[in-house]
Amino acid sequence: MSYLDEKRNIPGTILFDGKMARKGYGLNKLCYSLNDADGREAFAADEQACCDKYGLTEEQKKAIADRDVLKLLELGGSIYYLAKFAGYIGLNVQDIGAQQTGMTVEEFKAKLVEQGQS
Amino acid sequence: MAKIIGGITTSHIPAIGRAIEGNLQQDPYWKPFFDGYPPIREWLNEKQPDVAVIFYNDHGLEFFIDKKPTFAIGAAAEYHNADEGWGIKPIPPIKGHEDLSWHICNQLVDNEFDITICQEMRVDHGLTVPMQLMWPGYKYDHMKVIPVCLNVEQHPMPSPKRCFDLGKAIGKAIESYDEDLKVVVLGTGGLSHQLDGERAGIINKKFDIECMDKIVNQPEELTKYSILDLVEIAGAQGPELIMWLGMRGVLTGNVKELHRNYHAPISNTGAGTMLLENS
């Protein structure tokens, strides 16, 4: 039995497994294209055209337009490819951490520091 | 014969690369982290290893999810870093040791580790940040590396035990290589962190310290964790511990801890830096 057959509830966490990898294939491929300057330029020139090129669903397109990381994760985004999208829009991992947890960036950073001290 | 002289653990997060680029080693935020490295550099300088076997994961530079090897090993004469999309400057090429790579791959497949053998392989921050930490100023021209890339991005991921066993098989292969080489092994990544989801930002210091304690002489204890356990206890990126276990498996002799440094947070992560001697 695969460990993925075990239905363990880990709150606030989506496992990026085969189901998500299929669901998010185009979305992640779009984000992967942002590795290259050409990909970033194409995306900057026309986000919608790029979303169409990689076959994003309407929901995924909206989440891209909204810069909504939690929604993108739910729609099959892998954090490793979304990180490239986040970098492109000028957000670091504390910024997206704050966005996902509903904290301010300062609160999120303070929480990290606190855990390091405990 | 080739000799495995020791193992090193180190974080590899991109923020370290950015801090190096910005020359922030003495900045109050970064100093407690970077201060963990001089003893390791002194040891490397004294021992002068010829080859570094580096366990790391690729965060979407070389591999996309169109093809995602569970275990991939580099067998190239040279490895290149490239643009990862967020503007860290790529570092100069790193030399490989083709003969030793192929020797390891030959032994591994014979021992039923069916790895993917890569004659071209771009290496991302998972490998390049540790190179910069060990040999600052890109002074790694005397080194040859063997990248061992584990899948820690897409489930199913290989189990801690499997990665420890892979390390053991690599250790045996190195020791059967008929050339007088000194080999150091790096286990990169970790420790607790979670980048994604509403639970983003968890750090489990107790777990991190447990990993550092047990990796020295009780690594088998750490192999009892499942990937799901690691996600639950140490965050979605907690499974990066498998790269430490790969490294530890390679150390086949008597292992002695020479140095350690723990600091949290750096960016979103608990950073464990260790130097283990193998004799």
**For B25-39, how does the pLDDT look when each residue is reduced to its tens digit (9 = 90+)?**
999 999 999 999 999
Percent of chain A with pLDDT over 90: 97
Question: Has residue B87 got a pLDDT over 90?
Answer: no
Residue B251, classed as helix, strand or coil, is coil
Tell me the CB-side half-sphere exposure of residue B278, using CA atoms within 13 A: 23
B211-266 per-position pLDDT tens digit: 999 999 999 999 999 999 999 999 999 999 999 999 999 998 899 999 999 999 99
Question: Has residue A6 got a pLDDT over 80?
Answer: yes
Nearest CA in chain A to B264: A116
Torsions phi, psi for B10 (to 5 deg):
-160, 145
Per-residue pLDDT, A43: 97
Q: Give the pLDDT mean for B65-82.
A: 98
Whether A80 sits inside 8 A of B227 (CB atoms) is no
A75-103 per-position pLDDT tens digit: 999 999 999 999 999 999 999 999 999 99
* Per-residue pLDDT band at A104 (split at 50, 70, 90): very high
Q: How far is A93 from chain B (nearest CA, A)?
A: 7
Residue A40, classed as helix, strand or coil, is helix
Per-residue pLDDT, A96: 93
Whether B64 sits inside 8 A of A36 (CB atoms) is no
Bridge partners, B257 (sequence order) = B276
Taking CA atoms, B93 is separated from B53, B72, B82, in Å, by 16, 19, 10
A27 touches chain B (CB under 8 A): no
Question: Has residue A7 got a pLDDT over 90?
Answer: no
User: What ipTM was reported for this prediction?
Assistant: 0.96
Tokens of B239: 């499974």
- Strands B71-74 and B78-79: what pairing? unpaired
B112-153 per-position pLDDT tens digit: 999 999 999 999 999 999 999 999 999 999 999 999 999 999
Tokens of B199: 């639970």
Its pTM stands at 0.98
Check: CB of residue B203 under 8 Å from CB of residue B264: yes
**What is the DSSP secondary structure assignment for residue B109, as one 8-state letter?**
H
Using only C-alpha atoms, chain B has a radius of gyration, in whole angstroms, of 17
Q: How far is B225 from chain A (nearest CA, A)?
A: 11
Tokens of A40: 């970033």
Per-residue pLDDT, B86: 80
Bridge partners, B1 (sequence order) = none
User: CA B7, B138, B269 angle in degrees (round to 5)?
Assistant: 55
Question: Has residue A118 got a pLDDT over 80?
Answer: no
User: Kind and range of the H or E element at B188?
Assistant: strand B182-188
